[in-house]
């Protein structure tokens, strides 16, 4: 299978599986515990039907949205994800370039593999900086300052990861940074030499958001230990309120799932929230973001920009979320598998297919602009 034969999420996923050593594919593809939440994220879109309008003379569709002060040409953005240069040697550079080409926003993870400054300078499109909250408050302030100086547009604090999810696929393969593979995991690398040659012949793997502050990726500090030893599970609403004040700009909480927490996010001055369960990678059994969306939009949608992510594989999924009241929708694996399959061209193909699907589905729905979507378009099974 080649990139030009990829037409949907499943095609890209298949191509990525062929290219990647199994431990890396499983790191992307896997979820927590029984992966129930991971499966439900996509299934939840199937419980809702679209009701189209006909004979409205729609010749094109305006897909642009404004979210957290950023004007995007598409109602989807690339959600921040860790370790992208492990998936393809261009990593965040490929994602940033593709996002810029399609006029949308992309996120850079605290565990990103290209520096936030380099990405900000290279791609003229809104950039999110995804933050993990550390025990060391001085370190937090230094990282906030660095993001500000880089010119990041939106600060996104992930709040669903005060401890790492139980990802059993990773336990089986021994996936960790630095690599500590099981014998079976090593064998999987040996049978994908193409990936290994690429990895070894390109710039050294680094975690530049953290390298300046912590000796990451060495034997003394693995990512597992980073989560358990450096991040602060006692992070509270007061800590977050202080961080919102310190940032003093567009500030978003990623991983809000209850209406009560959404109201508190408004109270402490956040400008956005992402209804998300981290792609089913954290609390298994947690509700799907899409199922929880209406409740949260009803509670705070008039006071804060509500976004959602999780399980989005199709333009029609995006239209359903926008119909409920999401301002924009985050993509995770939808762009990661194409990244792994073919770098920048892969991500561009995936975003291009998404854009085409959105335009086609908008026309078939009888709408010329995404702000016309509303709950009257939907029926629950």
Residue closer to ligand FMN, measured from CB, 39 or 148: 39
Spatial contact of 128 and 80, defined as CB atoms under 8 Å apart: yes
> Bridge partners of 380?
48
Q: Which is nearer to ligand FMN, 132 or 367 (CB)?
A: 132
Among residue numbers 19 through 58, which ones bind ligand FMN (CB under 6 A)?
27-28, 41
- Residue of 249, 246, 245 whose CA lies nearest to 271: 249
Subset of residues 322 to 341 that bind ligand FMN, contact rule: CB under 6 A: 330-334, 336
Q: Does 130 bind ligand FMN (CB under 6 A)?
A: yes
CB of 356 to ligand FMN, least distance (A): 19
Considering only 88, 120, 278, 355, the residue that binds ligand FMN (CB under 6 A) is: 278
Q: Which is nearer to ligand FMN, 44 or 377 (CB)?
A: 44
Residue 101 or 169 with smaller CB distance to ligand FMN: 169
C-beta closer to ligand FMN: residue 65 or 156: 156
Whether residue 317 lies in the annotated active site: no
x/- map, 144-183, ligand FMN, by CB under 6 A: --------------x-------------------------
Q: Which is nearer to ligand FMN, 80 or 126 (CB)?
A: 80
In the region spanning residues 70 to 89, those forming contacts with ligand FMN, defined by CB under 6 A, are: 79-82
Min dist. Cβ of residue 134 to ligand FMN (A): 14
Residues 290-319 that bind ligand FMN (CB under 6 A): 309-312
**HEC profile of the chain:** CCHHHCCCHHHHHHHHHHHCCHHHHHHHHCCCCCCHHHHHHHHHHHHEEECCCCCCCCCCCECCEEECCEEECCCEEECCCCCHHHHCCCHHHHHHHHHHHCCCCEEECCCCCCCHHHHHHHCCCCEEEEECCECCHHHHHHHHHHHHHHCCCEEEEECCCCCCCCCHHHHHHCCCCCCCCCHHHHHHHHCCHHHHHHHHHCCCCCCHHHHCCCCCCCCCCCHHHHHHHHECCCCCHHHHHHHHHHHCCCEEEEEECCHHHHHHHHHCCCCEEEECCHHHCCCCCCCCHHHHHHHHHHHHCCCCEEEEECCCCCHHHHHHHHHHCCCEEEECHHHHHHHHHHHHHHHHHHHHHHHHHHHHHHHHHCCCEHHHCCHHHEEEC
Question: Would you count residue 343 as binding ligand FMN (CB under 6 A)?
Answer: no
Of the listed 88, 89, 134, 278, which one is catalytic? 278
Would you count residue 283 as binding ligand FMN (CB under 6 A)?
Answer: no
For the bound state, the minimum distance from the C-beta of residue 376 to ligand FMN, rounded and expressed in Å, comes to 27
> In the bound complex, what is the minimum distance in angstroms from residue 2's beta carbon to ligand FMN?
24
Q: How far is the CB of 257 from ligand FMN (least distance, A)?
A: 12
Which residues belong to the active site?
A: 278
| Residues making contact with ligand FMN (CB under 6 A) | 27-28, 41, 79-82, 109, 111, 130, 158, 254, 276, 278-279, 281, 309-312, 330-334, 336
């Amino acid at each position: 299978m080649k990139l030009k034969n990829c037409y949907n999420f499943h095609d890209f996923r298949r191509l990525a599986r062929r290219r990647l050593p199994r431990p890396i594919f499983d790191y992307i593809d896997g979820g927590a515990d029984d992966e129930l939440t991971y499966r439900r994220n996509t299934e939840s879109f199937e419980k809702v039907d679209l009701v189209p309008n006909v004979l409205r003379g729609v010749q094109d569709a305006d897909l642009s949205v404004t979210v957290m002060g950023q004007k995007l040409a598409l109602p989807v953005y690339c959600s921040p994800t860790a370790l992208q240069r492990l998936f393809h040697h261009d990593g965040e550079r490929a994602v940033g370039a593709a996002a810029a080409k399609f006029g949308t926003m992309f996120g850079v993870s605290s565990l990103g593999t290209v520096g936030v400054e380099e990405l900000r300078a290279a791609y003229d499109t809104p950039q999110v900086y995804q933050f993990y909250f550390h025990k060391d408050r001085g370190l937090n302030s230094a990282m906030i300052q660095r993001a500000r100086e880089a010119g990041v547009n939106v600060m996104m604090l992930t709040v669903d990861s005060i401890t790492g999810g139980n990802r059993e696929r990773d336990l089986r393969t021994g996936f960790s940074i630095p690599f500590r593979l099981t014998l079976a995991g090593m064998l999987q690398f040996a049978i994908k030499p193409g990936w290994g040659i690429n990895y070894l012949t390109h710039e050294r793997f680094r975690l530049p958001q953290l390298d300046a502050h912590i000796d990451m990726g060495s034997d003394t500090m693995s990512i597992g230990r980073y989560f358990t030893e450096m991040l602060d599970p006692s992070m509270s609403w007061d800590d977050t309120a202080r961080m919102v004040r310190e940032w003093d700009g567009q500030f978003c909480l990623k991983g809000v799932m209850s209406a009560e927490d959404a109201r508190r996010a408004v109270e402490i001055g956040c400008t956005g929230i992402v209804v998300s369960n981290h792609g089913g990678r954290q609390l298994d059994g947690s509700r799907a973001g899409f199922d929880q969306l209406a409740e949260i939009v009803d509670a705070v949608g008039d006071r804060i920009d509500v976004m959602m992510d999780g399980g989005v594989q199709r333009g029609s999924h995006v239209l359903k979320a926008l119909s409920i009241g999401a301002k924009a929708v985050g993509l995770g694996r939808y762009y990661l598998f194409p990244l792994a399959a073919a770098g920048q061209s892969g991500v561009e193909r995936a975003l291009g297919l998404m854009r085409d699907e959105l335009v086609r589905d908008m026309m078939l729905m009888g709408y010329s602009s995404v702000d016309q979507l509303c709950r009257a378009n939907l029926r629950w099974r």
